[in-house]
């Protein structure tokens, strides 16, 4: 037993010396997924970016992944296993991996960690996420233009700031076109459950919604919209193939630019702990393809995308009124990131009570 | 020609112990064939799966940490199954224990120390027991089928846990993320070996020994078994079926609750929307694979924990899908049940005519 401990220590020491070197010739980038790598949504988009990284750095970067990792102790073990197996940088791609990432990072100061969607950082832990709300705003505009009933149905997972931010941004976009636009909301309490998502879509349609938007991962709602001859927006990945006639615009996660930049930094020995929250301008949030809409709607969407990229259009710019009539964002002001990351109120006009 | 299953007059006793081993061997052989067919070096894959996790200290530690809740729960379930009480809701009883045990660290974060930890553990056990008492009472009073009630109560417990972690018990300093506040060191089970092996492993070992003593050396264990084999014989012997139903539910609920609080006050370190990746269900496989015998369960629990660890290692080392682990566990259960069938039944090849004659006669 003691021999083992000594041997392990020696290995760790050597590994530490190697990974501590300034610029590396060949590195290993590792990815931890919460779902299957081919889930058709969230994890798949991360995995596509992983493959792009491998292609981009041909021969210089080796990658590996673990999939279906439950949050909690299993996540900690999976991340630690990667850290031990010689990964130089580890991307943990679910907000529930936050505390496990921080815990393992403490034990392996020479390994770089990148956590998606959390808020805790350390000297060797960066965080990164996307400003999806920019895409949501444009979706809202498209919805208000395309809807005949003036009601959109919104399928949502959990009342965390990220999700509330999306609903609010969608509503602000819709109201910029039609001030009387209505949103109905169904909470399904899951990120992925095709059955529940389909039921939610049906219920929303029966209540008069003719456009479906979702903050869940499966294409079920898109398929229901296709069956009923209505419209829907895709989530995470391009879902146009699930609703050839129904699909309007998918909110696509494109992690590639970020992953290439960060892996490059590790290769160059210039990696530093950072807090990244990028959107359309940096090419992370992509709204596309724009399908099944008249030219004027498409032109409006493209114009808004261009303005967001140029920084001319701020989604959370006042005046914004909260659901209860009080001031959310004052006239002329723009909500700062801290406000957005803790967002827990609806804008006026949303037909739902936010679960607290 | 037809194939029929014929009941054996005297099921072989030695085969009853050999069948799990046979099932393991058959699973390994099947695994071997699957690897060959999918173009993976089978020896290397099997090595990574079943040997490599045992070659490093940290990995053995992790294996023990993973096995503790599974074995604790399976020990409790074995009591139920021996008396033919089909409690399949340990997953919910685990959640109830985790919730009850978390009352102190979440609501009174300043209370810390050994006495507090002891209180947390007792409350966890009590929570699991109370939750298991519901299906027990339903069965005793209304003869409600416990397979249904226990399974349904899993959803109730998990949704309630989800609600608490997102709602009233959400960490005020946690940016609305659905977790409770992280527990302090003075509210967690002490680490007794290495980096991560906590005192819960002692609870597990004690549970194994006590369970063995109870089932083999006491009248209560005898009553449980008799009532399981034949309720009528039990009632002639003056044993109360209802008392046994309540007792076995309380034991298994208590142990599941203990597993729950040991997880949140151990490896997890806070209350989350989910606290178990299905230990309550895995424990059902473990209980049967271990022949409902405490020592068998101990071995079976370690084996299943090993397959989890190996599955993760295989993903990292040779890019094998995570589903492989589930295939292995499924195969294992299938082979155990298949082997068990052949203990009680034999295959017989019967000619059509003879069969007709037999059925006519």
Quote the minimal CA–CA distance from A281 to chain B in Å.
26
A194 and A90 share a domain? no
Structural domain count of chain A: 2
CA dist., res. B291 & res. B212, Å (int): 12
Pairwise CB contact (< 8 Å): A159 & B166: yes
Residue of A nearest to B159 (CA): A189
**Confidence band of A21 (pLDDT split at 50, 70, 90):** very low
Quote the minimal CA–CA distance from A103 to chain B in Å.
11
> Is A218 a member of any domain?
yes
**Residues of chain B neighbouring A4 (CB-CB closer than 8 A):** 56-57
CA dist., res. A100 & res. A81, Å (int): 12
Give the helix/strand (H/E) hosting A262.
helix A256-268
Q: What is the pTM of this model?
A: 0.82
Q: What is the pLDDT of residue A356?
A: 66
Q: How many Cβ atoms from other residues are within 10 Å of residue B69's Cβ?
A: 32
Give the helix/strand (H/E) hosting B98.
helix B90-101
**Residues of chain A neighbouring B264 (CB-CB closer than 8 A):** none
A94 and A211 share a domain? no
**Residues of chain A neighbouring B272 (CB-CB closer than 8 A):** 71-72, 96
> Is A102 a member of any domain?
yes
In order of A328, B153, B159, B170, B199, the CA distances from B96 in angstroms are 39, 10, 11, 17, 21
**Residues A204, A153 contacting (CB under 8 angstroms):** yes
CA A255, A260, A263, A269 torsion-angle sign: negative
Q: Of A108, A129, A150, which residue is a domain's last? A: A129
> Is B180 a member of any domain?
yes
Q: How many Cβ atoms from other residues are within 10 Å of residue B12's Cβ?
A: 13
**Residues A252, A231 contacting (CB under 8 angstroms):** no
For residue A8, give the nearest of B56, B179, B267 by CB distance: B56
Q: How many Cβ atoms from other residues are within 10 Å of residue B234's Cβ?
A: 21
CA dist., res. B160 & res. B154, Å (int): 10
> Is A301 a member of any domain?
yes
**pLDDT for A208-248, tens place per residue?**
999 999 999 889 999 999 999 999 999 999 999 999 999 99
> Smallest Cα–Cα separation from A167: which of A355, A332, A300?
A355
**pLDDT for A251-294, tens place per residue?**
999 999 999 999 999 999 999 999 999 999 999 999 989 999 99
Question: What is A188-219 written as a DSSP string?
Answer: -S-S--HHHHHHHHHHHHHTT--EEEESSS-T
In chain A, what's the furthest Cα-to-Cα distance? 74
> Is B126 a member of any domain?
yes
Domain range holding B79? 67-304
Quote the minimal CA–CA distance from A213 to chain B in Å.
23
Q: Of A129, A157, A175, which residue is a domain's last? A: A129
**Residues A236, A46 contacting (CB under 8 angstroms):** no
A36 and A117 share a domain? yes
A151 and A298 share a domain? yes
Residue A4 sits at the chain B interface (C-beta within 8 Å): yes
Mutation pick from B316, B319, B320, B326 vs chain A, by most beta carbons of A within 10 Å, is B316
Quote the minimal CA–CA distance from A290 to chain B in Å.
33
Pairwise CB contact (< 8 Å): B263 & A65: no
Token pair for A130 = 């996307």
Domain range holding A146? 132-253+284-351
Query: Mean pLDDT lowest for which of A173-187, A321-335, B7-21, B231-245?
Result: B7-21
Domain of residue A305, CATH code: 3.40.50.2300
Q: A10-24, A127-141, A326-340, B13-27 — which one is most confidently predicted on average?
A: A127-141
In order of A72, A142, A181, A253, B83, the CA distances from A97 in angstroms are 7, 34, 37, 19, 41
A118 and A151 share a domain? no
**Residues of chain B neighbouring A67 (CB-CB closer than 8 A):** 315, 321-322
- In which residue are the tokens 């010396």 written? A17
For residue B312, give the nearest of A36, A66, A189 by CB distance: A66
For residue A81, give the nearest of B66, B179, B316 by CB distance: B316
> Is B20 a member of any domain?
no
**pLDDT for A308-320, tens place per residue?**
999 999 999 989 9
Pairwise CB contact (< 8 Å): B57 & A5: yes
| Burial call B114-141: b when 16+ CB within 10 Å, e when fewer | eebbeebbebbbbbbbbbbbbbbbbbbe
Q: How many helices (H) and strands (E) does chain A have?
A: 11, 15
**Confidence band of A353 (pLDDT split at 50, 70, 90):** confident
CA dist., res. A37 & res. A24, Å (int): 28
CA dist., res. A117 & res. A111, Å (int): 20
**pLDDT for B315-357, tens place per residue?**
878 878 778 888 888 888 888 888 888 888 888 887 766 556 5
- In which residue are the tokens 């940290």 written? B58
A232 and A338 share a domain? yes
Q: 3-class DSSP state for residue A320?
A: strand
> Is A5 a member of any domain?
no
**Residues of chain A neighbouring B277 (CB-CB closer than 8 A):** 70, 72, 74
**Residues of chain B neighbouring A76 (CB-CB closer than 8 A):** 267
> Is B173 a member of any domain?
yes
Q: 3-class DSSP state for residue B267?
A: helix
Pairwise CB contact (< 8 Å): B312 & A73: no
Q: What is the pLDDT of residue B361?
A: 43
CA dist., res. A159 & res. A140, Å (int): 19
> Is B292 a member of any domain?
yes
Task: Count A/B contacts: CB-CB distance under 8 Å.
Answer: 78
Q: 3-class DSSP state for residue A1?
A: coil
What letter would DSSP give residue B183?
P
Pairwise CB contact (< 8 Å): B312 & A344: no
> Is A276 a member of any domain?
no
A194 and A310 share a domain? yes
Radius of gyration of chain B (CA): 23
Angle at A52 between CA A48 and CA A56, to 5 degrees: 175
Q: Are strands B191-193 and B197-198 parallel, antiparallel or unpaired?
A: antiparallel
**pLDDT for A55-109, tens place per residue?**
999 999 999 999 988 887 889 989 998 999 899 999 999 988 998 999 999 999 9
> Is A272 a member of any domain?
no
A147 and A191 share a domain? yes
**pLDDT for B64-106, tens place per residue?**
999 999 999 999 999 999 999 999 999 999 999 999 999 999 9
Q: What is the pLDDT of residue B358?
A: 57
A242 and A136 share a domain? yes
Q: How many helices (H) and strands (E) does chain B have?
A: 15, 4
Mutation pick from A72, A82, A101, A108 vs chain B, by most beta carbons of B within 10 Å, is A72
A343 and A319 share a domain? yes
Token pair for A298 = 């498409």
**Residues of chain A neighbouring B65 (CB-CB closer than 8 A):** 73
What are the per-10-residue average pLDDT scores of chain B (361 residues)? 80 80 90 88 89 89 94 97 94 97 94 95 98 97 95 96 91 80 93 91 97 92 87 84 93 98 94 90 90 93 90 82 82 85 83 61 43
Residue of B nearest to A356 (CA): B167
> Is A344 a member of any domain?
yes
A136 and A81 share a domain? no
Q: What is the pLDDT of residue A18?
A: 44
> Is B18 a member of any domain?
no
Pairwise CB contact (< 8 Å): A4 & B56: yes
> Is A12 a member of any domain?
no
Q: What is the pLDDT of residue B359?
A: 58
Pairwise CB contact (< 8 Å): A99 & B270: yes
Structural domain count of chain B: 1
Please, which residues have CB within 8 angstroms of residue A256's CB and are 6 or more apart in sequence? A48, A49, A52, A53
A125 and A137 share a domain? no
**Residues B112, B188 contacting (CB under 8 angstroms):** no
Quote the minimal CA–CA distance from A143 to chain B in Å.
29
CA dist., res. B179 & res. A70, Å (int): 15
> Is B333 a member of any domain?
no
Q: What is the pLDDT of residue A239?
A: 93
> Smallest Cα–Cα separation from B192: which of B305, B61, B67?
B61
Q: What is the pLDDT of residue A16?
A: 44
């Amino acid at each position: 037993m003691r021999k083992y401990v000594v041997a392990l220590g020696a290995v760790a020491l050597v590994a530490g010396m190697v990974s501590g070197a300034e610029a590396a010739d060949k590195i290993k980038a590792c990815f931890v997924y919460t779902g299957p790598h081919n889930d058709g949504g969230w994890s798949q988009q991360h995995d596509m970016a992983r493959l792009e990284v491998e292609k981009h750095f041909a021969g210089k970067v080796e990658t590996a992944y673990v999939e279906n990792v439950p949050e909690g102790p299993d996540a900690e073990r999976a991340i630690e296993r990667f850290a031990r197996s010689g990964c130089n940088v580890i991307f943990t791609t679910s907000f529930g991996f936050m505390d496990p990432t921080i815990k393992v990072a403490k034990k392996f100061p020479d390994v770089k960690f990148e956590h998606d969607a959390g808020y805790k950082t350390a000297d060797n832990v960066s965080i990164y996420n996307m400003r999806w709300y920019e895409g949501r705003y444009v979706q809202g505009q498209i919805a208000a233009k395309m809807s005949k009933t003036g009601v959109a149905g919104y399928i949502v997972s959990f009342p965390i700031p990220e999700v509330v931010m999306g609903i609010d941004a969608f509503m602000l976009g819709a109201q910029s076109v039609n001030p009387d636009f209505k949103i109905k909301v169904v909470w399904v309490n899951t990120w992925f459950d095709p059955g529940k998502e389909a039921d939610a879509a049906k219920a929303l349609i029966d209540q008069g919604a003719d456009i479906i938007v979702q903050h869940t991962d499966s294409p079920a709602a898109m398929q229901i919209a296709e069956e009923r001859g209505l419209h829907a927006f895709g989530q995470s990945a391009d879902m146009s193939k699930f609703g050839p006639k129904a699909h309007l615009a998918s909110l696509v996660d494109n992690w590639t630019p970020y992953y290439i930049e960060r892996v490059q930094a590790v290769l160059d020995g210039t990696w530093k702990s950072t807090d990244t929250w990028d959107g359309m301008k940096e090419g992370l949030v992509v709204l596309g393809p724009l399908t099944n809409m008249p030219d004027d709607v498409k032109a409006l969407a493209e114009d808004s995308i261009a303005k967001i990229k140029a920084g001319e259009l701020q989604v959370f710019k006042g005046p914004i009124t909260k659901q209860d009539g009080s001031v959310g964002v004052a006239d002329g002001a723009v909500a700062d990131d801290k406000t957005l990351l803790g967002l827990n109120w609806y804008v006026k006009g949303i037909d739902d009570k936010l679960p607290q | 020609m037809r194939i029929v299953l014929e009941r054996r007059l005297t099921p072989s006793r030695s085969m009853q112990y050999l069948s799990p081993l046979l099932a393991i061997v058959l699973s390994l052989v099947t695994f071997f064939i699957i690897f060959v067919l999918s173009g993976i070096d089978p020896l290397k894959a099997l090595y990574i799966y079943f040997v490599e996790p045992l070659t490093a200290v940290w990995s053995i530690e992790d294996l023990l940490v993973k096995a503790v809740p599974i074995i604790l729960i399976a020990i409790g379930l074995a009591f139920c199954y021996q008396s033919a009480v089909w409690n399949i809701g340990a997953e919910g009883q685990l959640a109830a224990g985790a919730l009850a045990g978390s009352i102190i660290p979440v609501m009174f974060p300043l209370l810390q120390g050994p006495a507090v930890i002891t209180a947390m553990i007792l409350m966890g056990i009590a929570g699991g027991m109370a939750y298991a008492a519901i299906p027990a009472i339903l069965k005793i009073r209304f003869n409600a089928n416990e397979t249904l009630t226990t399974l349904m109560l899993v959803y109730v417990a998990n949704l309630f846990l989800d609600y608490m972690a997102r709602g009233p018990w959400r960490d005020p300093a946690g940016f609305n993320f659905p977790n409770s506040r992280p527990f302090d060191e003075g509210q967690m089970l002490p680490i007794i070996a290495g980096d991560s092996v906590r005192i819960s492993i002692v609870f597990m070992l004690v549970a194994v020994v006590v369970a063995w003593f109870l089932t083999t050396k006491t009248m209560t264990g005898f009553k449980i078994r008799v009532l399981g084999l034949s309720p009528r014989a039990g009632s002639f012997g003056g044993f109360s079926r209802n008392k046994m139903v309540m007792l076995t539910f309380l034991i298994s609920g208590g142990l599941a609750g203990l597993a729950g609080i040991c997880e949140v006050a151990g490896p997890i370190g806070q209350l989350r929307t989910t606290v178990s990746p299905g230990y309550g269900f895995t424990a059902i496989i473990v209980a049967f694979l271990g022949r409902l015998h405490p020592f068998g369960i101990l071995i079976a629990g370690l084996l299943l924990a090993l397959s989890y660890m190996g599955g993760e290692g295989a993903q990292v080392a040779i890019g094998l899908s995570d589903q492989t682990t589930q295939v292995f566990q499924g195969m294992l259960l299938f082979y155990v049940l298949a082997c068990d069938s052949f203990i009680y039944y034999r295959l017989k090849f019967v000619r059509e005519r003879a069969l007709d004659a037999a059925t006519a006669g």
